[in-house]
Amino acid sequence: MTTKLISVIGQAKHPEDVKVSCGCIFGNIGTGKTHLICSAVEYFDPEKVLIATLDQSDETLAKFPTLNMIDLLSLVDPNKENRSITDIMKMLVRDMRGVQKGQYHFFAFDSMSKLVSLILTELRADMGSSKAESDYNDINSLQMYGIAQNRVVEWFWELKRICVAREIHFWVVAWEAKGEWRVDDEYPNGHNYYSPQMPPALSAVIRQDWSFQGWMEIISKGGKNIPRITFSSPHIEAKNRVGFPNKVESPSVGELLKGRYSKEGETKSNVEEPET
């Protein structure tokens, strides 16, 4: 293959407005993560919204009948002889490369944490096969975790690149890791610190390269339990480069994006500074 030479310095230009958001929503079970990403159909044309899910027969997804959903596990060969979840993820990345600008405005993946668990399960199953005895006989659990991590980082790095190029908002869902107890100068008596359940390398990529990371929780207000998302707090591993409000109760995709992006994906200039 011949590489066409270009002038890299000659490609210099002024920065452009970022037209879409890419980020992670994490939280415990039942905090409203899936409902939040599904609410995109209430803001965008439902035909422009795509959700890839690993949760089969999900009651929340069923509440949004106009949703375009890819049930990834239904595409896996039960015998894992022809199509594993690894194969399906490679196909998903391949197909997303073929998406045209304007075909979708919003793409979400639910959930990144479950995907890592499934890849690890596949690797452990392979170790019991004749193929695995020759290929993986020296691989321990830590090495398998590294393999799973590398695969997921590669896929989501590429999916993010594709979505930015096609001007598609790309949101992923993650489980909540068990709250870590921390003691610091601000909280000498200690406090819980919450983060998404995902491999360290993937967490680092999202924190450094993506535009937001928000934490979902359930709070009690007026005798009711309602979901709330937080984008900045000393108690959570969060990020808010987008300019979303710091805390939003009963959030929706439209409520979050309308202050920052139009439906066409164009950045609005009158963005209020987030709470500090």
State pLDDT tens for residues 16-63: 777 899 999 999 999 999 999 999 999 999 999 999 999 876 788 888
Q: What is the pLDDT of residues 95-123, one digit of tens each?
A: 999 999 999 999 999 999 999 999 988 88
Instruction: Check residue 258 and give its pLDDT.
Output: 85
162 is a domain residue: yes
For strands 180-182 and 191-193, give the pairing: antiparallel
140 is a domain residue: yes
Instruction: Check residue 2 and give its pLDDT.
Output: 67
Whole-model pTM? Answer: 0.85
Q: What is the pLDDT of residues 236-252, one digit of tens each?
A: 999 999 888 899 999 99
Domain count, the chain: 1
**pLDDT higher than threshold 90 for residue 134:** no
Instruction: Check residue 128 and give its pLDDT.
Output: 62
Across the chain, the runs of DSSP E, i.e. the strands, are 22-27, 49-53, 68-71, 106-110, 169-175, 180-182, 191-193, 212-221, 224-230, 239-240, 247-249
Find the DSSP H helices in 28-186: 33-38, 59-62, 85-97, 112-127, 130-135, 141-166
Residue 141: give its domain's CATH number.
Answer: 3.40.50.300
**Percent of all residues in the chain with a pLDDT value above 70, rounded to a whole number:** 87
216 is a domain residue: yes
Domain that holds residue 150: 18-224+236-257
217 is a domain residue: yes
2 is a domain residue: no
8 is a domain residue: no
**pLDDT higher than threshold 90 for residue 140:** no
